[in-house]
């Protein structure tokens, strides 16, 4: 049976950013979650519904950054659904954030109130599209942004965009804690897993510690590690070919 591949983007990422990956895999059924509609930290049923995957489909997951945590939870809690797993510079299970800012806490409510205020007075509309450029510059070696100016304005300039980003970040801390528990003991059946780890560009200063954490995760999952010294964190911009090769090895 043909595998349906589902891409789970990282924090503040858009489905359009994965356009080059889609181009490199024309024969694959590749579906990219739109975090503006369905946060990648949503439960598995919501993620499945967002992609319209048939109940009997064989699923492969590609998770980048916090999307990697979401992919891990899916694969570990529903091992019979997921037949392949590609983790692209995934967030680690140790990235559990600050508990007094977890969703529903007083700190979280204060941040959300402030971000709603900024949205009402138009700050995201004014600064959001402009801030994307340094994010790409810092996170990418190639500095190749696939978003048009119109798409960047529509996505990052939306009044609710900064609140969305905060929700993604805060929820990812809870997700990391949940996945940490799932990987703390012996891990049962899990799909064949490849971890792509970026160590170039802005990732270079912390590459040793980052790679060690990724290798520990790979050992827990029985997965393999592919190091990308020519890519920074935004691997889908720097090395979409490496992701495509993990999906469709020759």
- pLDDT score at 1: 66
- Using alpha carbons, select from 190, 220, 194 the residue that is nearest to residue 80: 190
pLDDT of residue 250: 73
The residues, any chain, with a CB within 8 Å of residue 39's CB and separated by 6 or more, are 164, 167, 168, 171
Looking at residue 176, its pLDDT comes to: 97
Point out the residues of the chain with pLDDT beneath 70: 1
DSSP for residue 141:
S
Cα(123)–Cα(153) distance, integer angstroms: 12
What are the tens digits of pLDDT across the range 80-111?
999 999 999 999 999 999 999 999 999 999 99
In what order do the strands lie in the sheet containing 58-64? 29-32, 3-8, 58-64, 82-88, 193-198, 224-228
What DSSP designation does 203 have? Answer: G
- How many Å apart are CA 23 and CA 29, to the nearest integer? 12
CB atoms within 10 A of CB 189: 9
What single DSSP character describes residue 117?
H
């Amino acid at each position: 049976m043909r595998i349906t591949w589902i891409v789970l983007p990282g924090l503040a990422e858009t489905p359009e950013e994965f356009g080059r990956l889609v181009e490199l895999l024309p024969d694959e059924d590749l579906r990219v979650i739109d975090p503006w509609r369905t946060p990648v930290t949503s439960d598995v049923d919501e993620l499945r519904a967002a992609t319209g995957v048939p109940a009997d489909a064989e699923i492969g997951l590609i998770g980048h950054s916090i999307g990697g945590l979401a992919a891990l939870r899916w694969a570990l809690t529903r091992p019979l659904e997921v037949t392949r797993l590609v983790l692209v510079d995934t967030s680690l299970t140790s990235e559990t954030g600050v508990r007094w800012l977890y969703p529903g806490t007083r700190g979280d409510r204060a941040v959300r109130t402030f971000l709603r205020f900024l949205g009402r007075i138009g700050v995201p509309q004014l600064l959001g599209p402009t801030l994307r450029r340094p994010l790409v510059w810092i996170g990418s070696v190639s500095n190749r942004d696939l978003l048009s100016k119109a798409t960047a304005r529509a996505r990052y300039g939306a009044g609710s965009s900064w609140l969305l980003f905060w929700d993604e970040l805060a929820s990812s801390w809870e997700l990391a804690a949940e996945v940490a528990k799932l990987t703390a003991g012996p891990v049962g059946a899990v799909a064949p897993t490849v971890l792509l780890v970026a160590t170039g560009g802005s990732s270079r200063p912390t590459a040793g510690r980052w790679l060690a954490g990724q290798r520990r995760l790979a050992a827990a999952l029985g997965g393999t590690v592919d190091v990308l010294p020519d890519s920074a964190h935004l691997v889908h911009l720097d090395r979409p070919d490496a992701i495509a090769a993990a999906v469709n090895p020759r």
